[in-house]
Structure 1
Amino acid sequence: MRVLLNIIWLIFGGLWLALGYFAAGVICCILIITIPFGIASFRIGVYALWPFGKTTVDKPTAGAASLIGNVIWILVAGIWLALGHIASAIAMAITIIGIPLAVANLKMVPISLMPLGKDIVSVDSRPGYL
């Protein structure tokens, strides 16, 4: 079922989301000081391509630098990305088939707000998964 949902997701928005995140990652990597944000954008872009069957977990090594980076990220891009995911989720939730896609968009809101200090892992490999 995850493969089918991921294919539908890819066709109806995942590809464009991922391309947007990849473009932002390239821009951030060109500007040397924002390379950590570029890496986070690439990571989210891969997550945006194939979100079903994946989840986010906190990195145990994340510290104050991640917190400061996330505050900057929220002010510069996080709010707009989160609002975009919410608007897309509302549009997708209009149809019954789009409801799982809307849920996936809402699942991406926290990582689009605060990507630093997070890892994207398979749901099956998550600690404590039964």
Structure 2
Amino acid sequence: MRLLLNIIWLVLSGFWLFLGYVAAGIICCILIITIPFGIASFRIALYALWPFGRTVVATPTSGALSFIGNVIWFVVAGLWLAIAHVVSAAALAITIIGIPFAWANLKMIPVSLAPLGKQIIDQP
């Protein structure tokens, strides 16, 4: 079932989210000081490409720099990304078939708000 949901997700919205996060990651990596944000953006891009069967967990060993980076990320990009995910989820939830995809979009909001100090792992 996860495979089917991931394939439909990839066709409907996953590929475009992936491209957006990759573009943001490339821009962040070009600017030397924002490389940690670029790496986080690439991590979110892979999650946006194939979200079903994966989850986000906090890394307990991340320190104060992750917190400061997340505050900067929230102000610069995180809030806007979360709004975009909510709008996209509302559009997907209009149909019954789109409800699981809307849920996947909502599931990406925490990592798009504060991506530093988080890992994306496979669910058992």
Q: Return the TM-score normalized by structure 2.
A: 0.99
Structure 1 stretches lacking a partner, 5+ long? 125-130
The CA distance in 1 between the partners of 2:61 and 2:82, in whole Å, is 25
The CA distance in 1 between the partners of 2:43 and 2:104, in whole Å, is 16
Matched, 1:42 2:42: yes
2:33 alignment partner in structure 1: 33
Matched, 1:15 2:15: yes
Read off the aligned partner of 1:55 and give its amino acid letter.
T
The CA distance in 1 between the partners of 2:39 and 2:61, in whole Å, is 17
Q: Return the TM-score normalized by structure 1.
A: 0.95
The CA distance in 1 between the partners of 2:117 and 2:10, in whole Å, is 26
3-state SS in 1 of match to 2:119: strand
Read off the aligned partner of 1:16 and give its amino acid letter.
W
1:114 alignment partner in structure 2: 114
1:74 alignment partner in structure 2: 74
1:61 deviates by 1.5
1:60 deviates by 2.2
- Overall identity of the aligned pairs, in %: 71
Read off the aligned partner of 1:78 and give its amino acid letter.
G
The CA distance in 2 between the partners of 1:70 and 1:60, in whole Å, is 15
Read off the aligned partner of 1:102 and give its amino acid letter.
A
The CA distance in 2 between the partners of 1:7 and 1:78, in whole Å, is 26
The CA distance in 2 between the partners of 1:14 and 1:70, in whole Å, is 24
